[in-house]
Amino acid sequence: MRIGVPRALSFYRFHPAWAAFFDRLGVELAVSPPTNRATLEAGLRYAVAETCLPMKLFYGHVRALVGQVDQLLVPSIQRLAPGSTNCARQIGLPDLLRATMPDLPPLVAPDIDLGQEARALLSLVLEMGAPFSRNPLTLRDAVTAAWDAYRAARQAMQEGRLTPADFDRPGKAPPWPPDGIPVAVVGHPYNLYDPFINHQLLVRLARLGVNPLTPERLGPQPGADYWAFEHELVGAARLALERGVRGVIAVVAFGCGPDAVLVDEVRQLCREAGVPMMALVLDEHSGEAGLVTRLEAFVDMLRWRKADG
């Protein structure tokens, strides 16, 4: 039994938890290879034109797994707290996929809704684990292992020992310059840690002498969320500004519903704090040269401000 995991969307947040969970159940996970041109082209064949680039890449990663695995892990992430909501595409992800591709293997598609009571979560785990183990103790063990792995990964990321890009091959130390200009780079992890989607943004920043402080490196972020992952932009920007970063870069995908409004909140926070802010909007047409020019200009500007001030 092999379950395929598309290297997209929630992979960059929850993979350590899934890996531990299925490991305890004796199920092998297969992660699709890193994004490349072919991933995008495969995705574009299936996605509706208007959807966002991360979704298109998600489809591409699914195509890389179809035929290679027995089942596909496609969670529907709904709410992380009562009264919040998530992007429509992430809620409807399994439905979207089934509607788009007729030749899919069976889906493992749990509805992750942390806005519900504990009892609902319990039945979710039992239902999801049922095909693999009927023993509730094994399942409890698997859930505990998943939580522990998740917390350990968050801790490792905060300490700079791990990035979401390396979730399935740990041990690589990310090369951030510790004395670089501290700049908050806020956004969802699938936009920050997929070097294809953002033209190696983090590496380029490091080369320009910037210490990019991502939400994962900043640690737990404050604030109640309306959107499930609002904290990755607004909360992270607020926290970083409190810690005295010299600039903020918000990385968002074109066509992202929540981010369209969240970028404005980040801009507002930066204006109030008097800190320079740049929004990078990613789509399949964004060229590398344009990005490099904007990054260089932004970093130059930060240096001049320091020289003046």
Partner 1 sequence: MTRRVAFPPLGFLSRVAEAYLHALGVETVTPPPTSRRTLDIGVQGSPEMICIPCKLLFGNYVEAAERGATDIVMLGGPGTCRLGYSVAQQARRLQEWGFAVRVHTLDLYHVHRDIFRLTRAFADGRPATELVEPIRFLLALLDLTDALETGVLVARPRERERGAADRAYAAAWERIAALRTREELEEQRDDILGLLDAVGLDEDRPVLRIGLVGDVYTILTPFLNHNLEVQLGRMGVEVRRWFRYTGRVSLPLPDFLRMDRGGRARRAGSRYLKRDVGGFARSTVAEAALMAEGEVDGLIHVAPFNCTPETVAQSALVALQRERGVPVLSLSFDEQTGAAGVMTRLEAFVDMLWSARRRRR
- Please identify, among the stretches 29-37, 78-86, 158-166, 174-182, the one whose residues bind partner 1 according to the rule CB under 8 A: 78-86
Site for partner 1 in 110-149 (CB under 8 A): 111
Does the protein bind partner 1 through residue 254 (CB under 8 A)?
yes
Tell me which residue of 37, 94, 291, 303 sits closest to 182, measured CA to CA: 303
Decide whether 50 or 179 has the Cβ nearer to partner 1: 50
User: Which one of residues 43, 60, 187, 258 is an interface residue with partner 1 (CB under 8 A)?
Assistant: 258
The single-letter code of the amino acid at 39 is T
Q: Any idea what the Cα angle at residue 231 is, between residues 7 and 172, rounded to 5°?
A: 40
Shortest distance (Å) from residue 106 CB to partner 1? 15
Q: Is 103 in the site for partner 1 (CB under 8 A)?
A: no
Among residues 23, 30, 95, 116, the one that binds partner 1 under rule CB under 8 A: 95
Q: Where are the alpha helices (DSSP H) in the chain?
A: 11-24, 37-46, 53-65, 88-91, 93-100, 118-129, 136-158, 189-192, 201-207, 215-218, 234-242, 257-273, 288-308
**Residue 281, C-beta contacts closer than 8 angstroms, at least 6 positions apart:** 252, 253, 254
For partner 1, the closer CB: 195 or 257: 257
Residues in the chain: 309
The reply on whether position 281 binds partner 1 by CB under 8 A is yes
| Residues between 178 and 207 that touch partner 1 (CB under 8 A) | none
Which residue of 41, 127, 159, 264 would you call a contact of partner 1, by CB under 8 A? 264
Query: What letter represents residue 302's amino acid?
Result: L
What string marks each residue from 228 to 247 as x (binds partner 1 by CB under 8 A) or -?
--------------------
- Compute CA 194 distance to the chain's CA centroid, rounded to the nearest angstrom: 9
Axis-axis angle for helices 37-46, 53-65 (nearest 10): 100
| 145 vs 262, beta carbon nearer partner 1 | 262
Specify the stretch interacting with partner 1 by CB under 8 A; choose among 145-153, 156-164, 167-175, 260-268: 260-268
> According to CB under 8 A, which residues from 148 to 177 bind partner 1?
none
In angstroms, rounded to a whole number, what is the distance separating the alpha carbons of residues 287 and 64? 25
Long-range CB pairs of 284-291, under 8 A, 24+ apart, other chains included = 284/40, 284/44, 284/53, 284/56, 286/199, 288/199, 291/198, 291/199, 291/201, 291/204
Is the CB of 179 or the CB of 272 nearer to partner 1?
A: 272
What span, in angstroms and rounded, lies between the C-alpha atoms of 259 and 66?
30
Which span (8-16, 118-126, 169-177, 251-259) binds partner 1, by CB under 8 A? Answer: 251-259
Q: Which positions lie near partner 1, rule CB under 8 A?
A: 48, 50-51, 76, 78, 83-85, 87-89, 91-92, 94-96, 98-100, 102, 111, 226-227, 254-261, 263-264, 281
